[in-house]
Amino acid sequence: MREKLNTQTTPLAMPVRYLMAGILLLDTSVCLAQIITDGTVGPAMSLSGPEMTIGAELGSTRGANLFHSFQRFDIPTGHQATFTGPDQIQNVIGRVTGGQTSHIDGTLRSTVGQADVYLINPSGVVLGPNARVDVPAALHLSTADELRFSDGSRYSASDPAGSTLTLAAPESFGFLAPQPASLTIEGSQLELKPGKAATLTAGDVGIVGTSERRASLKAPGGEVRIEAIGDRVGQVSVSTPTKQPGSGRLSLDQAQIETSGAGGGRIQIRAGEADLRATSILTDNTGAIDASAGIDILVSGRLQLRDQTGVSSDALSMGDAGSVSVNADRLELLNGSWISSSTYAQGAGGEVHIQAGSVRLDGFGVPDQFTWIASGAAPGSSGEAGRVSLTVAGLLEVLNGALISSSTWGVGKAGGVTISAGSLRLDDFGMDQFTGIWSDTNTDSGGDAGTVSLRVAGLLEVLNGAAISSSTQGSGQAGGVTISAGSLRLDGLGAPDRFTGIASQAIPGSSGEAGTISLTVEGLLEVLNGAEISSSTGGLGQAGEVTISAGSLRLDGLGAPNQATGIATQASEGSSGEAGTISLTVEGLLEVLNGAQISSSTFGLGKAGEITIAADSIRLDGLGALNQFTGVVSSASSDTSGDAGRVSLTVEGLLEVLNGAVISSSTWGVGKAGGVTISAGSLRLDGLGAPDQFTGIASEALLDSSGEAGTVSLSVDELLEVLNGAEISSSTFGLGKAGEVMISAGSMRLDGLGAPDEFTGIASRAGRGSSSDAGRVSLTVDGLLEVLNGARLSTSTLATGDAGDLSIKARHLLILGPDSGAVSAAYSSATGQVGNLVIETDTLSLADGGILSIEAQQTVTDPGQVSADRTLKVKANRFWLDGGVVVASSTGNVPAAAIQIQADELRLANDSRITTEAAQADAGPISIGGGRLWLADSLITTSANGAVGDGGDIKLTPEYLILDGGFIQANTAAVGARGGDIRIDTRALIASQSLVEIGGAERQTFTAESGRNIIQAAAPGGEQGTIEVTSPDLDLTSALVPLASPFSDPDELFTDLCRTLNEAGASSLVERGYGGLPPAPAPTAISFTPERLDRLNTASSGALE
């Protein structure tokens, strides 16, 4: 039922009204009246204080609605206005029609049952610092033009004549004018009954405190709704907030809006722009019932929280806290302000949801206060913290000590942090505060930390001491960090002593595990100037994995020479957990520069993690590094028992390791070093810019370690270059073995031109102080292998362990330049043995001092315990030496190794040498077989040069032997020792000048370009070796001449060959007639004894598989 108000005046009534008005003008009490009814719904009268009663008789009742209409409605300081009426009334509805702002600085009271109180004044409402509210139910204050009802009726303050009194329930406020008046609370402290609601609806709304006290509006366990609609024309619901933001201004200054109580209550704010200063908005749940609501703020423009303004919804008892939802075009949290939901008891904290066009958190100016968006579980609580989520269309900034976090100090879990943003910038500006995004579980807490999940469409920046992290300090697990970004830049330039970057940690003393870090970056990922991406453990738990996928990746430590820059996993000192793995996938270029690192290490009981990298191309360059290594490293430190991890790189294109950069896996402790495995399109190592630093690829067991070094395995499709002091190596300096080095490449170039005093090449070492073997080096090259300008392929030992074998298989092998070569060595400090050197190639060229060598320099207590089976083997189609050397030497007291060569064509020219030599032991044997063997001003020799040792045997079985100033000698200088035996079996022996000099007791000295051809097994102080030449196609009458004899007529020479040679002191020669030369007349010519022949055939076998 509704009734149209009659506001028409009858003619009879007109004089009465004018008369009354005149009387009122004369009555001074009218000037003091604060409340004046306008006579439209009840009698017109004035009320003045201090006690003003507004009874039901002054208005009109329709069902449960009691209507009042006022020309003026003010309550001065110290005065009280009380609505009275029947208990069945549910709504006391008042309007102000006089066009004046209502000023309330006293008490607004209602005793009408449990009725809600409505007061609308289109001209504005102001509540002063002494204002109080005492109403039994809800309070609705508005500057709306009218109140609308569920049946469509209107009760208007701007158009009283158009109003209708109705039985229906109020439904909405109607704003008809484009600029509605404001509603202001100035220093008031208003509080409603528990569980009740207060709504403030106006064009602009202000709640402003004073310097003495805050303004406050409280509805314990109830609801506060504030809507600043601005110039919007339309309806605003009485009971439910609109889903659209307002366009008006909300100003909260030193204010408190609170609905804390049982159930937590609800706070809803709508505005076009909101400025909150030194204000708190609270919905704490103190009861056992879960909160059904929380805080809901929707602002179409800028929402600014500054000067320690807080918006929070907490659980203080068994019930869960409500959520906090903030939606604004621009959200700013400044100077110690916060938005949060936490639990301090059994109930769970609420979720925090932020949606905005842009968000800025800036803690500048309050170094001792947090500026944050957070959820937490406090110490002693058992409830879980809620999730924090932000959706930001544009830029999200977290600056100067500001935080976005979810943490637990209690039994319950921390909630995660989820962010979606157009771009994200975290910058501490070097303020020495924690700035960033985190989720953690703290000391004594048992709850897990939550996941940090970020999705950024554009650029994500973490700068100058800012961080994104998840950590555990207790028994709970740290959460993972998952980031997806268009591009990502981490730069610690402005905070040289602070961590800048992304981290997951298990802090020392914790037992929980660190979480994983997973990054997906479409474009460029940069880690610069002391910034890091890190997962670590200092406790019992494991460090997490680090997984990164990026379009391109650049790590550069140039601006932070004393800090680590890069990507790392670590098991710290005192920890027992393992370091996590690192897995990187880069579509384009990966650069690690100027002291930056990718590393996994252990300083505790656990293992270091593996490092796996896949990229289109990789460049490691340490040129600008001062105090930090540059590269990719996995290590196990001293006093640890954990193993280092494997390092594995897959590179489609070029991999460059330059100027002090390294790829390595090493151990200083009990644990093993991991292997290094690389697959690349091409590989270039160049140490030119770092002459005093290691440049290259290595696996090492370092000094005082007991773990083994790992294998180094490289597969390169095209060219592999090792230049200017760079190297590829596996070494041991401790108790463990060095690992193998296995390399396959399309082509390979080793060149030491720019580092004449540094080792350039490929090596396996058992270093000084070690007690185990060096590893094997095995090379397979499809095309050309070049070893130039002092570069070397090497295995060596300086200690008790053996040098590893060196195996080379290449289509073409060129060794050029002094000291360039392939060498296996046992140096003077060693007691271990040399390794074997085996080469298989189509063409092999040794020139200008190039060398193939097995060097035994060691002096041992019992030489008989040293095996004499080490061998230098070469198998080639063509083997050319031009000033080159093949040598197996012993400068100590162990036998020199053997040399075995099988070549279709073997040519020695310009003082080239194939030689075995020993200082205080036996020289090793030499065996050469194949097609053509040509010695041009060159030597094949075995020599025992000291006081002991026999000369080594020489066995030559080429199809053709061409001597053009060639020396073949098997000599010994030792008294009582034997020269080696020489056995030559060739289809044809062709000598320059048709002359070969045979035998002689004194060793003949080689002189280049002398034209002399010498075959000799001299032993000046001992027994000469035996020489046997078998050449069925050779006319020996013009080829063989005994040394120390005048040139003889061939007929005379071979009439009694044995007698002639014996008289000359030459070695024995067995002549087998062929080609017109009759057999020697003496049928019992001197030949090898069966024992010596067997030794020559076996020890000097030239057959190579």
CA atoms within 13 A on the CB side of 651: 27
* Structure confidence by residue, pLDDT tens digits, 101-151: 999 999 999 999 999 999 999 999 999 999 999 999 999 999 999 999 999
Token pair listed for 323: 């959520």
Sequence-distant (6+) residues with CB within 8 A of 1104 are 873, 874, 875, 900, 901, 902, 929
Sequence-distant (6+) residues with CB within 8 A of 133 are 107, 108, 109, 139, 190, 191, 192, 198
Kind and range of the H or E element at 200? strand 197-202
- 848, burial (CB in 10 Å: exposed 0-12, middle 13-18, buried 19+): middle
Phi, psi of 642 (to 5 degrees): -80, 150
Q: Which of 610, 441, 452, 580 lies closest to 512, judged by CA? A: 441
Site of tokens 């490092």: 611
CA distances from 963 to 43, 709, 940 (A): 143, 48, 11
pLDDT along the chain (1105 residues), means of 10: 38 34 36 84 94 98 98 97 98 98 97 98 96 97 97 96 96 93 96 96 95 90 94 89 87 96 92 96 90 91 96 90 94 96 88 97 89 90 90 97 89 89 94 86 77 96 94 80 97 91 82 86 97 85 88 95 89 75 96 94 78 97 87 80 85 97 82 87 96 90 71 96 95 77 97 94 83 85 97 87 90 96 87 90 96 88 74 96 93 90 96 91 91 95 83 92 93 77 93 85 84 87 86 52 36 34 38 32 31 39 35
Site of tokens 């710290």: 572
Contact between residue 295 and residue 242 where contact means Cβ atoms under 8 Å apart: no
DSSP β-ladder status, 35-37 and 65-73: antiparallel
CA distances from 223 to 194, 199, 340, 457, 884 (A): 9, 8, 19, 38, 97
Answer whether the bond into residue 15 is a cis peptide, omega within 30°: no
Token pair listed for 114: 């449990």
905-923 core/surface letters (b: 16 or more CB in 10 A; e: else) = bbbbbebbbbbbbbbbbbb
> In angstroms, rounded to a whole number, what is the distance separating the alpha carbons of residues 740 and 776?
5
Residue 100 is classified by DSSP as: S
Phi, psi of 727 (to 5 degrees): -155, 160
* Residue 341 β-bridge partners: 313, 375
Token pair listed for 815: 């060794």
Q: What was the pLDDT predicted at 582?
A: 92
Q: What was the pLDDT predicted at 1092?
A: 36
Q: Would you list the DSSP string of 657-669?
A: EETTEEEEEEESS
Cα 718–Cα 719–Cα 721 angle in degrees, nearest 5: 155
Contact between residue 599 and residue 567 where contact means Cβ atoms under 8 Å apart: yes
Q: pTM for the whole thing?
A: 0.84
Q: Provide the terminal-to-terminal Cα distance of the chain, rounded to the nearest Å.
A: 115
Q: What was the pLDDT predicted at 31?
A: 42
Phi, psi of 1052 (to 5 degrees): -70, -40
Q: What was the pLDDT predicted at 617?
A: 98
* Structure confidence by residue, pLDDT tens digits, 1019-1065: 787 788 899 998 875 544 344 444 433 322 333 333 333 333 344 33
Phi, psi of 749 (to 5 degrees): -135, 120
**How remote is the C-alpha of 861 from its chain's centroid?**
52
Contact between residue 449 and residue 414 where contact means Cβ atoms under 8 Å apart: yes
Q: What was the pLDDT predicted at 176?
A: 93
- 1061: helix, strand or coil: helix
Q: Which of 671, 664, 740 lies closest to 707, judged by CA? A: 671
Question: Residue 15: which region, alpha, beta or left (left: phi > 0; alpha: psi -120 to 50)?
Answer: alpha
* Structure confidence by residue, pLDDT tens digits, 999-1028: 887 888 888 888 899 999 887 877 888 999
Site of tokens 């009858």: 10
169-205 core/surface letters (b: 16 or more CB in 10 A; e: else) = bbbbbbbeeeebbbbbbbbbbbbbbebbbbbbbbbbb
> In angstroms, rounded to a whole number, what is the distance separating the alpha carbons of residues 335 and 366?
6
CA distances from 1092 to 882, 897, 967, 985, 1087 (A): 34, 19, 22, 16, 10
Token pair listed for 35: 């409340």
Rg of the chain over CA atoms, in angstroms?
A: 49
Question: Residue 230: which region, alpha, beta or left (left: phi > 0; alpha: psi -120 to 50)?
Answer: left
User: 3-state secondary structure string, 776-837?
Assistant: CEEEEEEEEEEEECCCEEEEEECCCCCCCCEEEEEEEEEEECCCCEEEEEECCCCCCCCCCE
Residue 58 is classified by DSSP as: G
Q: What was the pLDDT predicted at 488?
A: 98
Q: Where are the beta strands (DSSP E) in 205-309?
A: 205-208, 215-218, 223-228, 234-237, 249-253, 255-258, 266-271, 273-277, 280-282, 294-306
Cα 1036–Cα 1037–Cα 1041 angle in degrees, nearest 5: 85
Q: Which of 855, 850, 963 lies closest to 906, judged by CA? A: 963
